[in-house]
Homo-oligomer: A and B are copies of this chain.
Amino acid sequence: MRAMRSDEIREFLLARPRTATLATVRADGRPHAAPIWFAMDGDALIFTTWHTTVKAANLRRDPRVCLVVDDEAPPFAYVQIEGMASLSEDLGELRRWAAVIAGRYMGPEQAEAYGVRNGVPGEILVRVTPMRIVAQAEIAV
Residues in A lying within 8 Å of B, measured CB to CB? 17-19, 21-25, 29-35, 62, 64-68, 70, 72, 74, 76, 78, 80, 82, 105-106, 140
Contacts and interface: CB of A to CB of B under 8 A. Distances in A.
Nearest to A19: B72
A56 to B, nearest CB: 15
Nearest to A140: B106
Nearest to A134: B34
A31 B35 contact: no
Contact of A35 (B25, B65, B70, B74): B70
A105 B74 contact: yes
A123 to B, nearest CB: 16
